[in-house]
């Protein structure tokens, strides 16, 4: 009888742990908008050019909503600095879309733009592009 109770207890524990929700740890989705006036790849530009960059992001798991969006720039290989950072709420937690207008510097060099989304679990994903100012 004791073995039967032990077996039942083990079976119940196994059923409990196998039914627990497992976090898959999927990165949030992020991509550039394409077409029209959007720049979505590395590009040579002139000094003082105006460039439109569009970002689409979405959660990849039901419960791991988007929490943060950040845009940063690095000039000529230097450390990057954030120029737009926001906490996301409401419908932006599921699907976020942003258009950013960038005006390039009035000096030749490279401008590396990085766009990052972070989900509820702290997992982040990013896209980037380089504008070469001539």
Token pair belonging to 67: 């929490």
Q: Quick check: is 12 in a domain?
A: no
Q: What is the pTM of this model?
A: 0.81
The count of domains in the chain is 1
CB atoms within 10 A of CB 39: 19
State how far Cα 43 lies from the chain centre.
Answer: 22
Q: Establish how many alpha carbons lie within 13 A of residue 134's alpha carbon, considering only the half-sphere containing its beta carbon.
A: 4
CATH at residue 52: 2.60.40.10
Q: Quick check: is 2 in a domain?
A: no
Return per-residue pLDDT of the chain as tens, 134 residues: 555 555 555 555 555 554 445 456 899 999 999 999 999 999 999 999 999 999 999 999 989 999 999 999 999 999 999 999 999 999 999 999 999 999 999 999 999 999 999 999 999 999 999 999 99
Q: Contact at 8 Å (CB) between 15 and 8?
A: no
Tell me how far apart the alpha carbons of residues 51 and 13 are, in angstroms, rounded to a whole number: 58
Nearest CA-CA partner of 70 in 92, 94, 44, 88: 88
Q: Quick check: is 115 in a domain?
A: yes
């Amino acid at each position: 009888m004791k073995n039967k109770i032990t077996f039942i207890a083990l079976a119940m524990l196994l059923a409990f742990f196998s039914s627990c929700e497992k976090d898959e740890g999927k990165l949030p989705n992020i991509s550039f908008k394409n077409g029209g006036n959007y720049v979505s790849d590395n590009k040579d530009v002139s000094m003082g050019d105006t460039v439109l960059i569009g970002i689409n992001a979405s959660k990849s798991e039901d419960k791991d909503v988007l929490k943060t969006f950040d845009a940063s720039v690095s000039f000529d290989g230097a450390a990057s600095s954030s120029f737009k950072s926001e906490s996301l709420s409401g419908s932006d937690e599921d699907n976020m879309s942003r258009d950013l207008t960038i005006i390039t510097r009035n000096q030749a060099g490279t401008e590396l733009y990085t766009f990052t989304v972070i989900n509820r679990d702290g997992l982040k994903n990013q896209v980037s592009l380089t504008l070469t100012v001539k």
